[in-house]
A and B are shown apart, each in its own frame.
Chain A
Amino acid sequence: MAEVLVLAELNPADGGPRKSTLEALTAARVLGEPSAVVLGVPGTAAGIKDVLAEYGAAKVYVAESDDVDAYLVAPKAEVLAQLVAEKSPAAVVIPSSPEGKEIAGRLAIKTGSGFLTDVTEIAADGTATQVAFAGATIVHSQVTVGTPIYTLRGNSVTPEPAPAAGTEEAVQVAVSEAAKQTRVLDRVVEQKSNRPELTEAAIVVSGGRGVASAENFSVIEGLADSLGGAVGASRAAVDSGFYPHSFQVGQTGKTVSPQLYIAVGISGAIQHRAGMQTSKTIVAVNKDPEAPIFELADFGVVGDLFTVVPAATEQISARK
């Protein structure tokens, strides 16, 4: 059976594989037998091998080196290119983070291949599904040259266990000087939160201009917490200083695709729809009955968010 390389994306907080890695292992199975690739400082692979095996990694290539961590993107692409040359895989699947996409692009040039970013599905013949133009167009694409490289958009595939051997194989890492130009000096976490990560969350509650102030965002946070969800914000809310930019959902922010998306006080401009249109279920609360967000909503409440949302939060909390 053909081998498919899957790059493991790790959670910086605990070093474990992110959900995106398990999704990529699941999506890769249709193309062949997944082999996970772990890139990180020495000791990275030890704690995560078992999870990778549980989700279908027949092999786990361990490429551990301080250089992989100390420089931006280029060393990881170099190691993957080395593995592609040695193993001749049928394809490479990478979680679609900014770094993942950059690794994919560099790998494509190094290996003379094509790459497809932010795919939501991969078919057995290698055809990938992508969502274009703010979710308005569904595109089927194929790589026509070299080893197909895909980056898989988060929350597009449900991770399913498929226990495999997870045989460890060490990879010698020799990062070239050319790949050591961009040095990572520090990794700074500004917002520590107990809420799930926005792009991984099953439920996202977002607030818009209608929330009217930074203080009022506690209403949005309250509903999110009652549902165990993440908090997002529209560009209008971010531009008005109500909520930090890293929570912005939309064309120039994050793209999310949760099971449930609740848009509160958000009109539904194209800018915003671009980031949430593919959510499974969409609920909107807005006082303007003509707000375009209602065209997208499976369920909409026309009303004052400051009465509807706190009351709903209370009811949901009472149900627990």
Chain B
Amino acid sequence: MNIVVLVKQVPDSGSERKLDPSDNTVARATADNVINEMDEYAIEEALTVKEAQGGEVTVLTVGPDTATDAIRKALSMGADKAVHVSDPAIHGSCAVQTSAVIAAALSQLEYDLVLCGAESTDGQVSVMPALLSERLGIPQLSGARKLTIEGSMAKIERQTDGGYWEVEAPLPAIVSTWDTINEPRYPSFKGIMAAKKKPVETKTLADLGIDASTVGLATATSKVVDFAGRPPKGEGVKVADEGDGADKLVGYLAAQKIV
């Protein structure tokens, strides 16, 4: 079973994140960059499938040169090798363009199963499986809280409001995973050391046969016109409960005509 896991490096959602005012793209150069948290669940799922069925796990990342940190994290968890698509022309690409780059990179790999996190914590568009399904003609099994592979079929429980849908498709397929699907392993010391020797192949747009003018900020299908910090909230009221906390709380709600 050849498995490809899509991994994205993102600004740490626990730190301050910004857009770059020079071109309104995510300020990645100055950010505290980490592997997208949700991708760790996809890596774990890939390793679980590999352990059950045999095969190889390849990490695929599109991102600037600094994204190698995210790749090393994935390799240290146990993935076998990586492909890093890095090209300055990709900077500022929209989801539609990025999906074209990932699709081209996938087309140069052999895969039975593609796994990715259900969303990235920076853009939160959450549609890459749908876009890749559309481009590659392989089925999407998105939003999984459980994955089962039986022969040539993959079945998931697609997480929904208050329940799940049972959904199945033939392999090769693309599956995205929520953080309810498993508990990602921590890289072992041995894993961290081994990761340093695992192969990472770097590819440019030219390697993928993509015309650089079709990606990047200048030809993106959507653009950020302007942005601003959320206006600070007016000073709120904070009261200490001295036996009258509930009275004050209900009084506030009444004043707001909520009760």
Contact = CB atoms under 8 A, between A and B. Distances in A.
B190 interface: no
B169 A134 contact: no
Nearest to B125: A117
Contact of B163 (A131, A143, A189): A189
A165 to B, nearest CB: 32
Nearest to B38: A252
Interface residues of A, number: 92
Nearest to A116: B222
A16 interface: no
A115 B252 contact: no
A187 B247 contact: no
Contact of A308 (B125, B238, B241, B256): B241
Contact of A72 (B155, B159, B167, B229): B167
Nearest to A193: B162
Contacts of B17: 133-134, 136-137
B143 interface: yes
The DSSP consensus for interface residues of chain A is: mixed
Interface stretch (A23-31, A50-58, A60-68, A309-317): A309-317
B193 to A, nearest CB: 30
Contact of B256 (A101, A277, A281, A311): A281
Interface residues on B, range: 35 or more
Interface of A: 72-74, 77, 98, 101-106, 108-110, 113-118, 127, 131-146, 178, 181-193, 197-199, 203, 227, 245-246, 251-252, 259-260, 269-271, 274, 277, 281-283, 285, 289, 294-304, 307-309, 311-312, 314-316, 319
29 contacts: A73-B130, A73-B142, A77-B134, A98-B142, A98-B143, A102-B130, A105-B127, A106-B134, A114-B220, A115-B95, A115-B221, A140-B227, A142-B225, A182-B169, A193-B162, A246-B159, A246-B162, A260-B256, A270-B13, A297-B238, A299-B237, A300-B236, A300-B237, A300-B239, A302-B238, A302-B240, A303-B240, A316-B259, A319-B254
Interface of B: 13-14, 16-19, 37-38, 94-96, 99, 119, 121-122, 124-127, 129-131, 133-135, 137-143, 155, 158-170, 173, 178-180, 220-230, 233-234, 236-241, 245-250, 252-254, 256, 258-259
